[in-house]
Amino acid sequence: MNNIKVVLIIFFAAMGGMIYGYDFGIINGALLFIKEDIPMNSSQLSLLGGAVFFGSAFAILIAGMVADILGRKKAIIFTSVLFIFSLLLVGFIDSYIEILFSRLLQGVAVGLISVVVPLYLSETMSKSVRGRALTAFQLFLTFGILSANYVGVYYASESDWRAMFLLGIIPGLVIFFGAFVLVESPVWLAKRNGVAEANKVYAQLNLENDQGLGDDSKFKKKYSKHLIIVAMIVIFFQLTGINSILEYSSLIFKNTGAGSNQLAVLSSSIMSTCLFGGSIVAFFIADRLERKVVIYLTNIAMTLVLVMIGVLFLLVPDSQIKAYILLGLLILYILSFAVGIGSYNWVIIPELIPTNIRSFGLPLMLFLNSIISFATTSIFLPVIDVIGYANIFFLCSFFTFGFSYFIYRFMPRTTGKSLQEIENAITTGKY
């Protein structure tokens, strides 16, 4: 990948993953201080945490239309402007409704970016670089979460949650200005102006035109099995508890006797570092080890760790030592997640959706993902109030074990397989 133009396109487009990750990660540290300035109960606090997923779910429904009307390039520019605006609002917030509205707008921005950027990269990059391009989106996403947590640590001593949000404007500006060097999606150009226009872009980038455009406008009954499998993966992904644990990790640490808010936020930042490190490992083994096996084994590891965390909360009194043990266990949990399903989720979902319905199926699955994310993060704290920390981790371990079995039983092998081979494997049930 020595074409500098291609590298720049991947860099600036994939940076959309950074604002996605930053927006997801920043609320974790900020919540501790927002609730000190703006009174709210546990249900309101949990709703604020899940608001970004609700806004994202709405945006995903219209993302395809926005990308078709504006074009992929202009849609990325529009999204960066919306993200910057939603963060600027934070500087003027002094009520719960206002910050909830800002978080909803941020959710709309990241919802759009979660569809438009992968769509743009998959349409613009040829098969020789497409995998690395989409992996770059995931790496930037985890780097965004990591950055958000260390920003939280930096501003924790001042309890300046507004500054935590406002610093996210920087990657938004990078994407805004960087987007002007992007070429338009060849597929979008082909639909508007003919294949000749698309070929000009591929020639400019010195890439092969290997896009096969099929009729994806109709749902076909024979593909229902494929979509059900992907939908179950999306649902199980959220039921592992990963988003809730990452989002509320600072609060979880505070309930172990971790001490200061700063220490709780620092522990969360260490976890984010592990998330990023695990994603790097996944990047290098992606095409060397079978993805199904990696996901299955790491899910089993996550299950065991969640059980141990449940036992920790059940039997060990709150103390500084308990907080350190929890940190060690959560590091193992995060590493297992990042090396496995956390990194390969962006890969296997497009792989398992047949080509003829991918433009319909991918937004549908991302919408489902956002709805489940919103539901799980919104009820996480209220459920803890009812059943306690130990039982919430036991419950997550139960679902994660179920996820492991589902992967073993119903997910086909995908590494080194053509998309047609994967589609046929699901159709015939030869997993």
Q: Degrees (nearest 5) of the Cα angle 300, 303, 309?
A: 145
Tell me which residue of 239, 238, 264, 236 sits closest to 250, measured CA to CA. Answer: 264
- The string of pLDDT tens digits covering residues 272-305 is 788 889 989 988 887 778 889 999 999 999 999 9
Domains parsed from the chain with CATH numbers? 1-213 (1.20.1250.20), 221-431 (1.20.1250.20)
pLDDT value of residue 217: 44
pLDDT value of residue 37: 83
- Cα–chain-centroid distance for residue 414? 21
- The string of pLDDT tens digits covering residues 111-159 is 999 988 888 887 787 766 766 777 788 889 989 988 887 888 788 777 7
Whether pLDDT at 215 is above 70: no
CA-CA distance, 194 to 10, in Å (whole number)?
24
Whether pLDDT at 404 is above 70: yes
What is the token pair recorded at 111? 């919802």
Whether pLDDT at 261 is above 70: no
Whether pLDDT at 95 is above 90: no
Mean pLDDT in residue range 204-214: 58
Whether pLDDT at 214 is above 70: no
pLDDT value of residue 428: 85
In a 13 Å sphere around the CA of 68, the CA atoms on its Cβ side amount to 7
**CB–CB of 226/358 below 8 Å?**
no
Global pTM reads 0.76
**CB–CB of 29/250 below 8 Å?**
yes
CA-CA distance, 426 to 431, in Å (whole number)?
7
Cβ-in-10-Å burial (0-12, 13-18, 19+) of 293 comes to middle
pLDDT value of residue 221: 59
- The string of pLDDT tens digits covering residues 55-69 is 888 898 888 888 889
What is the percent of the chain with per-residue pLDDT over 90, rounded to a whole number? 31
**CB–CB of 265/149 below 8 Å?**
yes
Whether pLDDT at 306 is above 90: yes
**CB–CB of 237/345 below 8 Å?**
yes
Tell me which residue of 240, 249, 175 sits closest to 25, measured CA to CA. Answer: 249
Extended strands (E) in 132-194: none
In Å, how far are 131, 187, 211 from 122, measured between CA atoms? 9, 10, 9
- Which residues have CB under 8 Å from 135's CB, separation 6+? 283, 286, 343, 346, 347
pLDDT class of 262 with cuts at 50, 70, 90:
low
Average pLDDT score over the chain = 84
pLDDT class of 210 with cuts at 50, 70, 90:
low
Largest CA-CA distance found in the chain, in angstroms, rounded = 69
Helices in 220-290 by DSSP H: which ranges? 224-239, 242-247, 249-254, 261-285
